[in-house]
Amino acid sequence: MRIRKAIAALSVTALASLGTIAAAPAAQAALTGGYGCSGSHIWSGNVGGAGTVHTYYDGSTNCSVFVKDTYAGVKTYTDIYIQKSGDSGWIDGGGGYYTTYAGPVSIYAPGACIREWVIENNPSGDNIVYGPTPWHSCS
């Protein structure tokens, strides 16, 4: 009887360990590229309570996406732009009617700070987010 209990306890412990091992690569994958971006996840910030900008960096290029929280799953006009410090212009990520996220948008920016401009409309077409993130990811 004691042997069966010992084997059962070891089996539960082994299965729990396998679950932990299996989960680790998924967590790591989220930090190394995503949403069409490559590189390491270096910054994220909430924008107006409507979603989160995620920024990745591969050693020379910053790549950002805006992931919707408000109206996630609903096609609404959404766009993201990116700018590096020292530039007056913005690079457009290609706005459209998206259900999940806008972007990616990339900029070559070693040694510079970057920021994003995010637009998201509600289903009626009114802006719920229209503005920039703070400067970040200064290398």
Q: CB within 8 A of 131, min separation 6: which ones? A: 47, 48, 117, 118
Taking only the tens place, the pLDDT of each residue in 26-71 is 333 445 679 999 999 999 999 999 999 999 999 999 999 999 999 9
SS3 of residue 10 by DSSP: helix
State pTM to two decimals.
0.77
CA distance linking residue 119 with residue 89, whole number of Å:
16
Query: Do the Cβ atoms of 122 and 33 come closer than 8 Å?
Result: no
Beta bridge partners of residue 77, listed in sequence order:
97
Q: What sections of the chain are H helices per DSSP?
A: 2-31
Confidence category of residue 119, pLDDT binned at 50, 70, 90: very high
Q: Which residue has the higher pLDDT, 33 or 137?
A: 137
